[in-house]
Structures are given as C-alpha cells and as structure tokens.
Amino acid sequence: MADEHNMRRVTAIKNGTVIDHIPSGQALKVLELLNLSGDTSVPVSLVMNVPSKKMGAKDIIKVEDRELTQSELDRLALVAPDSSIAIIRAYSVAEKLNVNLGEEVRNVVRCTFSNCITQNPREPLPHRLVVMKTDPLMLRCYYCQRPQNLDELILNLI
C-alpha cells in the first residue's frame, strides 16, 4: 500500500523507465550518472525521501519516453546497487531489470588518483575499475591499484 501511494505521488508515465529503491538522497547523483541532469529533452519526475518498508526511506525517478539500456543502468550500481528498474510501455510494466555492476566497471568513470597513468586523456586504453567488494562498495583502479573514493568518483564520470 505504502509503495503504491509513493508511486502515485507523481503521475504514472505512459512510456519510459522507473527507477525505484534508490537510497534516500541519492536521486540527484543517479541523474548525473545517467547523464539526465542536463538533458532537457525528456520529462523527468523525482520523488525524494518517501517512506519505504525495505529501506526506511527512498528516492524514485521516472524518465518519460526513454527506455534506459542495461549498460546505462549498470552505472547505477555505483550509488544505488539495490535499485529496481521497470521499463514501462502503455502504462504497464513491460520489463524488469536488475542493476549489475559485474566484476569490473569499464569506461564509465576515470580513476580518482591524480598520478594514475589514465589521467592523460590521450591514452587510448579503457578506464577499468575492479570491483573488490559490493557491500560496502569498494573499487580499485586496475592499473594503479588505488582504492577509489566513491564521492569523488561521481565527479569523474566519462
């Protein structure tokens, strides 16, 4: 019941993507991760700090008229690893997707260490962060092996 009420805080979308169970307060970071924060071409609805049985409080994002791809959604694992995603078509859930960080994050973010070889933007090999642990999330740069500061990492999105 509570969940249904939360979902209705903003109107249901006809087509698009709903991202639910985002940790409370992280929705703006998610928008940045998905490159939606500066995108004015699609309507985006945001609900923040709503009650959740599972999480205590959570954020929800609805993106209209755009179906986010699995690789776009995998970026979410950096800030919202437990989020659930629904692709909406004609007001109904057409597909449910899970976020999956995998063993390595490739070409999503740059290493945060200022003296890493990958800081030269002209170096052509992929940016690679290895997932050491998922709970709590711990990443290391494949090349320099430095542990990554997750707050800084968001600023290093490619």
Partner 1 sequence: MKGLITMDDLTNDDIHSILSDAERLLPVARGELYLPLLQGKILGNLFFEPSTRTRMSFETAMKRLGGDVVNLGDVKTSSVVKGETLFDTIQMVDGYTDIIAMRHPRQGAARYAQDAARVPILNGGDGAGHHPTQTMLDLFTIQQSHGTLEGLTVILAGDLRYGRTVHSLSHALVRFGCRLIFASPELLRMPTEIVEDLREHGADVTETEDLLGNINQADVVYMTRIQKERFADEDEYAKVAGAYKLHARDLDNTKSEMIILHPLPRVDEIHPSVDSTRHARYFEQAFNGVVARMALLCRLLNIEVPAIIGGGDA
Q: Interface with partner 1 by CB under 8 A: which residues?
A: 111, 113, 115-120, 122-125, 141-147
Cβ closest to partner 1, residue 55 vs residue 116: 116
Q: CA dihedral defined by 118, 119, 122, 128, rounded to 10 degrees?
A: 30
Nearest residue (CB) to partner 1, 13 versus 128: 128
Residue 85: count other Cβ atoms within 10 Å of its Cβ. 20
Cis status of the peptide bond prior to 147, with omega within 30 of 0: no
Rounded Cα distance, 79 and 29, in Å: 7
Both tokens of residue 85? 């995603």
- In whole angstroms, the minimum distance from the beta carbon of 33 to partner 1 comes to 24
Closer residue to partner 1 in complex, CB, 40/120: 120
What's the farthest any 2 CA atoms get from each other in the chain? 53
**8-state DSSP, 12:** P
User: Which residue is listed with tokens 């969940």?
Assistant: 3
**CB 113, min distance to partner 1, A:** 7
* Identity of the residue, 88 or 113, whose beta carbon is nearer to partner 1 in the bound complex: 113
In whole angstroms, the minimum distance from the beta carbon of 102 to partner 1 comes to 19
Q: How far apart are CA 125 and CA 111, in angstroms?
A: 13
Closest contact distance (angstroms) between CB of 142 and partner 1 is 7
Of residues 41 and 115, the one with the C-beta less far from partner 1? 115
**Minimal distance, residue 139 CB to partner 1, in Å:** 12
